[in-house]
Amino acid sequence: MNNTVIKAKRQLIKPQYKPKGGLKVIIEKHKYDGVFIARSKQDALCTKNLIIGFSVYGEKRIIVKKTNDVIEEYRVWNPFRSKLAAVILGGVDDIFLRRGMTVLYLGAANGTTVSHISDIVGTEGTVYAVEFSHRSGRDLLGLAKKRTNIVPIIEDARYPYKYRMLLGITDLVFSDVAQPDQARILSINSKHFLKTGGYFIIAIKASCIDSIIDPNIVFTKEVQKLVKENFKPSEQITLEPYERDHAVVLGRFKVKKQ
């Protein structure tokens, strides 16, 4: 897919931009740290590009000229390609990501969502991206050459002891591992690497756990498993229309009693 770049010019007070063709685009801050909305004929979610001039998966880029010498660039975040983008558009209260955070991402695949988290946590943060597939791992390695805040780990997330020497305690664990024991995978990784009171996000694919019973029953059972393992879910959201039979659960781990 060809990369599409929309060139835009920033005005002083209200940030309006006029790409080629006369289309106006307004970049607004989202309520979540590091996330933005490109307001135009069709609104789009985006993050500020950490590496200006480079896209990751063929996404559109919006260039903003601040001064003669300074530009900013925003990458459109596709909710059909990223479950986290779908969660944001679903309207959860908080995604817990902040600039400077250390994130462990399980099931990083080719790095689509990882790249946007890389934008959000910035150069002060780090994303440890675990992926079992060697083909996807090659893409992650290429991504990490440009984005130095991404650390690719080509290992099986079911066995965190294999990469325990590569990272320390993290602020958030994001799990997108389509396996029948995905709750257990999140649990064992969190016990190894997630700080007390840290945050978790897990994408649950119902058909990977049980393709016969109602997905809502599957989601309820998985949440019960998480609670037994000292997770405290705060929100749950399904991903329609972007993904079928998927739910994402967000919350905290080992919250200290007051």
Contacts of 175 (CB under 8 A, 6+ apart): 106, 107, 157, 182, 185, 186, 189, 200, 201, 202, 203
Report mean pLDDT in 10-residue bins for the chain, 258 residues.
45 37 77 93 94 94 83 94 96 95 96 97 97 92 95 96 94 94 95 96 92 91 95 95 94 79
156-178: pLDDT as tens digits: 999 999 999 999 999 999 999 98
Residue 242 CA to residue 33 CA, distance in Å, equals 23
81-95: pLDDT as tens digits: 999 999 999 999 999
- Cα torsion at 159, 183, 140, 161 (round to 10°)? -20
**Torsions phi, psi of 112, nearest 5?**
-60, -60
Residue 147 CA to residue 168 CA, distance in Å, equals 20
| Whether 137 contacts 108, CB under 8 Å | no
**Cα 119 to the chain's mean position, in Å?**
10
Residue 41's identity, in one-letter code, is K
Confidence at residue 12, expressed as pLDDT on a 0 to 100 scale: 29
Residue holding tokens 């649990």?
187
Confidence at residue 224, expressed as pLDDT on a 0 to 100 scale: 95
181-214: pLDDT as tens digits: 999 999 999 999 999 999 999 999 998 888 889 9
Q: Give the burial class of 25: count Cβ atoms within 10 A of its Cβ; 0-12 exposed, 13-18 middle, 19 or more buried.
A: buried
Tokens of 62: 């919006």
